[in-house]
Amino acid sequence: MEPFRIVILGDSSRHAVAVNTQLLRTLLSRIKGLSPQPKFIMFVGDMVYGGAKVNEQLEYFKKLIKDYYPITMLYPVLGSHENNDTAFSNAFSYLPNEQLQGYQRTVYYFDYENARFIVLNSNRRASNCSYAVDAKQRFWLKNTLESSDKKYNFVFFHVPAFPTGHHYGESLDGSTDERNALWSILDHYNVTAVFVGHEHNYCRRLIDKSFTTNGLLIQNSIYQITTGGAGSSLSAYITNIKNAIVGPLAVYHYCVLDINDGGVSLQVYDKENTLIDSCSIYPPTKGPASNAITDMLIPMGASWRYFDEGSDLGTSWREPHFDDSSWPSGLAELGYGDGGEATIVSYGPNVWKKYITTYFRKHFTVDDTSIYKSLVLRIQRDDGAVVYLNGKEVYRTNMPSGIIKYNTLAVKALNGIDEVSFEKTIIDTNFLKNGDNVIAVEIHQVSPSSSDISFDFQLLGDKG
């Protein structure tokens, strides 16, 4: 087969304006800059906000996509916002029609090279009125997979089978019988990957034998990849993240899938075109794809040890052999006061005299430091931060020069976009070592009465 590339993204709808035009254009500009270019784009639903003007909104969306010729071949999925089979089918009249009788163009498949791409309608309803891929679709899906002679079979629908938080209990998991019946088919035919949206974040989650219940027997391991970051309001709310390899990350993004006879690799980029995830989907791995030019050493949304008791820890806490086993741990974003935290840390007993400094530590492993030319560090911090690698300071941001103490204040308050943005810097590999490594970060408030702190972090190894 001829190797080829596709792009997957979803959820660009925005209340009041129908489409988050500015953000979607940013992502499409990034996609247009890819080399090689994608053969087509899969869009996993919620392109527009919907409602009475859904027809007009879909026409606007199509024109926006066409501005980015030649990446105009779009295969959309019906979302929960443009929940109108007829409007969707009229807007995308080039899609296969009535492959499943009664579903117009909302359920279809097509083949490209050695891959089959299958689109389902997750807007049907179970007996309890929850979202479902109904029995008629499941019968069609089984036949479509049974008849496939392709090496790879990818499945797309909007509402996740296994949500993590933002729509937990109100996605396909709202009717576990219907959800389990669907996943049993996907598992039986060991589909290559499942892409969904609806939860406004990025998450790569491995659905495997550990999800087996009385109503669901799973034999294989399949990634459910949530890509809901093309413009809708972001959320990393967490209820259940079992087997979430990366995420959920509240970040605008798009997914790049490279497909060839030897395998399928995934790279995910944010709106600044920074890599946020990389793996081999086939053969499946949890870590970076072998041909990646960067390795994900610490992903956004990772688990960190933290100390939030307001004490002066001196300098020993930043050293690699410091014993942090008694510290609590939690997923990033860590902090308080903003509402988007995955883990809430303490600011102390007095809201007007909050702790100035909160400490964070994380271990990571490097097999061979010689393969990296540099390290790419990205940090979300509010207000100030100092970063240490194996006990050595490698970066400080919004902090004064000189010696940093536990009561040193940040230089200025961060507000608006600065509170949620990731600051990027390149650091050398001098302090990196083979085996176990430790990143230590101290976050400082600008004043004891400051309303919030935020912390998330990413570290990439750049192979140059």
> What is the tens place of the pLDDT at every residue in 257-274?
999 998 999 999 999 888
pLDDT band at 402 (very low <50, low <70, confident <90, very high): very high
Kindly state whether residues 339 and 235 are assigned to the same domain.
Answer: no
Domain hosting residue 189, numbered range: 4-292
Q: Is the pLDDT of residue 16 over 90?
A: no
Query: What's the token pair of residue 303?
Result: 């688990």
Kindly state whether residues 267 and 385 are assigned to the same domain.
Answer: no
Is 23 inside any structural domain?
A: yes
Domain count, the chain: 2
Query: What's the token pair of residue 155?
Result: 């499945």
Reported as a single tens digit per residue, the pLDDT across 315-325 is 999 999 999 99
Kindly state whether residues 263 and 389 are assigned to the same domain.
Answer: no
Distance CA 332, CA 340 (A): 10
Kindly state whether residues 238 and 349 are assigned to the same domain.
Answer: no
Question: Which candidate, 358, 353, 317, 310, places its Cα nearest to that of 335?
Answer: 358
Q: Is the pLDDT of residue 419 over 80?
A: no
Q: Is the pLDDT of residue 283 over 80?
A: no
Higher-confidence residue: 386 or 294?
Answer: 386
Beta strand 40-43 pairing with 74-76: parallel
Is 156 inside any structural domain?
A: yes
Kindly state whether residues 199 and 156 are assigned to the same domain.
Answer: yes
Is 432 inside any structural domain?
A: yes
pLDDT band at 417 (very low <50, low <70, confident <90, very high): low
Kindly state whether residues 224 and 350 are assigned to the same domain.
Answer: no
pLDDT at 292: 55
Kindly state whether residues 336 and 407 are assigned to the same domain.
Answer: yes
Question: Which candidate, 451, 454, 453, places its Cα nearest to that of 352?
Answer: 451
DSSP-assigned states of every residue in 283-295: TT-SS--TT-SEE
Q: Is the pLDDT of residue 134 over 90?
A: yes
Is 298 inside any structural domain?
A: no
Q: What SS3 state is found at 254?
A: strand
pLDDT at 302: 87
pLDDT band at 166 (very low <50, low <70, confident <90, very high): confident
Kindly state whether residues 348 and 421 are assigned to the same domain.
Answer: yes
pLDDT band at 422 (very low <50, low <70, confident <90, very high): confident
Is 420 inside any structural domain?
A: yes
Is 161 inside any structural domain?
A: yes
What CATH number is associated with residue 434? 2.60.120.260
Distance CA 405, CA 241 (A): 36
Reported as a single tens digit per residue, the pLDDT across 31-51 is 999 999 999 999 999 999 988
Reported as a single tens digit per residue, the pLDDT across 325-363 is 999 999 888 999 877 688 999 999 999 999 999 999 999
pLDDT band at 294 (very low <50, low <70, confident <90, very high): confident
Reported as a single tens digit per residue, the pLDDT across 84-122 is 999 999 999 999 999 999 999 999 999 999 999 999 999
Is 297 inside any structural domain?
A: no
pLDDT at 10: 96
Kindly state whether residues 65 and 107 are assigned to the same domain.
Answer: yes
Kindly state whether residues 70 and 188 are assigned to the same domain.
Answer: yes
pLDDT at 223: 95
Kindly state whether residues 205 and 324 are assigned to the same domain.
Answer: no
Query: What's the token pair of residue 35?
Result: 């080399």
Question: Which candidate, 176, 2, 148, 158, places its Cα nearest to that of 76?
Answer: 158
Domain boundary among 235, 264, 292: 292
pLDDT at 316: 96
pLDDT band at 216 (very low <50, low <70, confident <90, very high): confident
pLDDT at 192: 96
Is 418 inside any structural domain?
A: yes
pLDDT at 229: 94
**Does the reported pTM lie above 0.85?**
no
Kindly state whether residues 89 and 230 are assigned to the same domain.
Answer: yes
What CATH number is associated with residue 15? 3.60.21.10
Mean pLDDT of the chain: 91
Domain boundary among 292, 322, 355: 292
pLDDT band at 240 (very low <50, low <70, confident <90, very high): confident
Distance CA 362, CA 438 (A): 6
CA dihedral (26, 454, 459, 199) positive or negative? negative
The phi and psi torsions of 210 (rounded to 5 degrees) equal -70, -10
pLDDT at 227: 97
Domain boundary among 266, 292, 318: 292
